[in-house]
Amino acid sequence: MLEFLKKQGVEFYLSVVACLMTIIGIILTAVSSSVQGYAMANLGLILFAAIAAIVLIVAGVILAGRFGAHHVAVVAVNLVAMILLCVAFGNIIMERAVLASSQFSYDAVNTIGWGVLYNSIAGLVLFLLSAILLVVGSFFKGRKAA
């Protein structure tokens, strides 16, 4: 296993970090939606998109190990994963826009609402950073030269 990790390049590690950030983003989104009165109507779509993105990121890592980081299949899988992360990102924004507007206008002392908003923003940032890491990782080699 250690020998396998020594052979991997920057693209592999950025994909692994993107996958971990997506998992943490899923947890934060689910926690923010589980607070009574602040449930997200599209939580199923958000979770599906994020979990499918994780599966595709892992598939991209496996395909990059087999065919190389710049193979058409790897690029396509990473592109679809980025699109799914953006779908999750956009749906969280749509779900939490009303909460943000109420917190900043007339409900500023609602500490539970602020906590839900902060968790949602943290999930948003993690999904966005995951997509950015996938883009940045696509510019690097998949494996080190032997």
pTM recorded for the entire structure: 0.87
Q: What is the pLDDT of residues 79-95, one digit of tens each?
A: 999 999 999 999 999 98
What residues does 8 pair with on adjacent strands?
143
Per-residue confidence (pLDDT) for residue 144, from 0 to 100 = 57
Per-residue confidence (pLDDT) for residue 106, from 0 to 100 = 79
CA distances from 140 to 2, 71, 88, 110 (A): 21, 12, 26, 46
Burial-class residue 139 by CB neighbours within 10 Å (0-12, 13-18, 19+): exposed
Which of 2-16, 85-99, 125-139 comes out lowest in average pLDDT? 2-16
Q: What CA–CA distance (Å, rounded) separates 50 from 76?
A: 17
What ranges do the domains of the chain cover? 6-137
Which of 2-16, 105-119, 125-139 comes out lowest in average pLDDT? 2-16
Orientation angle between helical segments 10-33 and 111-137, nearest 10 degrees = 160
Comparison of pLDDT for 24 and 69, the residue scoring more: 24
Q: What is the pLDDT of residues 71-129, one digit of tens each?
A: 899 889 999 999 999 999 999 999 888 888 888 887 778 788 888 999 999 999 999 99
Q: Compute the average pLDDT of residues 35-42.
A: 87
Residue among 60, 44, 51 at smallest CA distance from 26:
51
Per-residue confidence (pLDDT) for residue 30, from 0 to 100 = 93
Q: What CA–CA distance (Å, rounded) separates 87 from 108?
A: 29
Task: Tell me the pLDDT of the chain averaged across its residues.
Answer: 87
Segments in the chain forming alpha helices (H):
2-7, 10-33, 43-67, 72-105, 111-137
Q: Compute the average pLDDT of residues 34-56.
A: 92
